[in-house]
Amino acid sequence: MKRLAIGVLLAVAMAGVFLYTGVTRDTEYRRLVAAGDDALGQDRIFLALEAFSGAIALKSESMLAYLKRGETYHRWGDLAAAMRDLTRASALAPGATRPLERLGDVSQELGHHEEAARHYAAYVALDDRTPRVLYKLALAHHRSRRTTRTIPLLRQVIELAPMMPEAHYLLGIGLWDQRRFAKAIEALTEAVTLSPGFTAAREALSGVFAAEGHLDKQVEQLEALAALETDRPARDVDLGLAYARIGRTDMAVLALGRAAEEHPEQPLVYTALGRVWLDIARTTDDRIALSKSLGALQSIPMATASSEALTLLARALLLAGEVENAVAALELATARFPLDPSAFVELADLALHEGDTARARQLLIAHDALTANEPIGSRVARLTRIADLSLELDDPADAVVRFRQARALGEPSTRLLVRLADAEWRTGDRAAARLVIADGLAQSPRDRSLLALQRRFD
């Protein structure tokens, strides 16, 4: 009996020790988490990491400690460590939404937008009434170029939080991508109404107005942007050039002149001012305007002038009759990055004027490489011109290459097919020439030029 009593007492004592130890561990865990929060409040990142690490050491299955340490690593900028801890936190509590949102945030910063979308979507599967996360999911889809998924989500965000300008802005961008201009204007207008200082939304609205040909309305947005960001000379440049596009050259000169006074060290202002004066000189044959264009462009040191500025200077010099100096400016323009593609065309025209067809072709080939993504019609015309020069140089093989490239861009004209067939014939490829004619006649069986070429080749 006595032995039994001693055993009971030992068991009670042991239980007390375990209970005390557990209570002490819990107390210390809570203290460390609170200490970590306090350190974060004072922006003492290392102390916070130490505290949360201590909490994890005491309770290795604590979701909260991993979450807080992951958030701290994220704040510090160690995204790999943040991802590791947040992944562990989410695994410990699959039904918790906060780790999922934070995982999405870190994935976004890493540029893993599809992965971010998966995390945000998992959050939304648990809670689809949080506008902030719905917006983040829409943004992740937008960055992954999934516009069809973005737009419905943004409409849901706007239904829940109609005063959220970012949602209206992103909706406008998505609608713009789909070329639904009227709806895009509506969404972007709402964004700037809710937040008049939202410059990205005003920039987008300006772009949509320009795409729709509403140049006066575009100017209104550019005026607002220039007023909002007076320290950015690029805003004055955009506004000045927009004034010029709608024929308000007086306002263009005024805006750019003011910008030149406020930012005398900015070459882009003088480049724009030179462009506006040059356009005036060309349309009115105004020698004073030409002089002012040259003055603005020549005020930019040649050693630092952009390719655009040098090309404009060359045009002004040509208008003034200074051909040699114009050629020198264009030679610099075609070697200074970022390149102005039009410099190559200007120089090619001068080379042709001097009878240097080979040099002209070389320049036009370079121009085509720089502008390959421009509208198809323009590229067909460029390739055709290069092919014609190749024929002049008795290089039908190159002409065939250019004509074929032009033909591959879309429905070829009869004229293009005739010239391609002729070039194929000159290379000695009779079969290819006849096949081109047959293809052309299949589309236009009564075309006289194709029929004449067919008789000639038979």
328-369: pLDDT as tens digits = 999 999 999 999 999 999 999 999 999 999 999 999 999 999
Tokens of 335: 């070697």
pLDDT tens, position by position, 66-113: 999 999 999 999 999 999 999 999 999 999 999 999 999 999 999 999
pLDDT at 19: 38
Domain ranges of the chain: 372-458
- For the stretch 126-148, pLDDT in tens is 999 999 999 999 999 999 999 99
Q: Average pLDDT, stretch 152-169?
A: 98
Residue 304 has pLDDT above 80, yes or no: yes
**pLDDT, tens digit, 9 for 90 and up, residues 250-296:** 999 999 999 999 999 999 999 999 999 999 999 999 999 999 999 99
Token pair in block for residue 407 = 């033909």
pLDDT of residue 165 exceeding 60: yes
| pLDDT band at 411; cut points 50, 70, 90 | confident
pLDDT digits (tens, 9 = 90+) for 232-256: 999 999 999 999 999 999 999 999 9
pLDDT of residue 353: 95
Grouping H, G, I as helix, E, B as strand and the rest as coil, residue 39 is helix
For the stretch 377-397, pLDDT in tens is: 899 999 999 999 999 999 999
112: which 2 tokens? 């893993």
C-alpha–C-alpha distance, residues 338 and 324, integer Å: 24
**Local structure of 371: helix, strand or coil:** coil
Cis peptide before 341 (omega within 30 of 0): no
Tokens of 427: 């290379």
**Over the stretch 12-53, which tens digit does the pLDDT of each residue have?**
333 333 334 445 889 999 999 999 999 999 999 999 999 999
pLDDT for residue 11: 38
3-state secondary structure 263-327: CCCCHHHHHHHHHHHHHHHHHHCCHHHHHHHHHHHHCCCCCCCCHHHHHHHHHHHHHCCCHHHHH
Between 1 and 305, where is the model more confident? 305
Which architecture does CATH list for 372-458? Alpha Horseshoe (1.25)
* Three-state secondary structure of 129-181: CCHHHHHHHHHHHHHCCCHHHHHHHHHHHHHHCCCCHHHHHHHHHHHHHCCCH
What residues contact 305, with CB distance under 8 A and at least 6 apart? 267, 297, 313, 332, 336
Res 23: pLDDT: 55
Residues in the chain: 458
The number of beta carbons lying within 10 Å of the beta carbon of residue 97 is 17
pLDDT at 408: 95
Q: Render the burial of 348-363: b for 16+ CB within 10 Å, e for the rest.
A: bebbbeeeebeebbbb
What the block records as the tokens of 455 is: 């008789």
Long-range contacts at 151-160 (CB < 8 A, ≥ 24 apart): 151/175, 151/178, 156/128, 157/131, 160/129, 160/131, 160/134
Single-letter code of the amino acid located at 44: R
Q: What is the mean pLDDT of the chain?
A: 93
- Which H or E run includes 401? helix 396-408
Cβ neighbours of residue 322 under 8 Å, at least 6 residues apart?
none
Between residues 373 and 89, which one has the greater pLDDT?
89
- 253 closest CA partner among 272, 230, 235: 272
**Residue 374: its pLDDT value, please?**
87
Give, in order, the Cα–Cα distances in Å from 295 to each of 79, 238, 248, 316, 458: 52, 21, 21, 10, 63
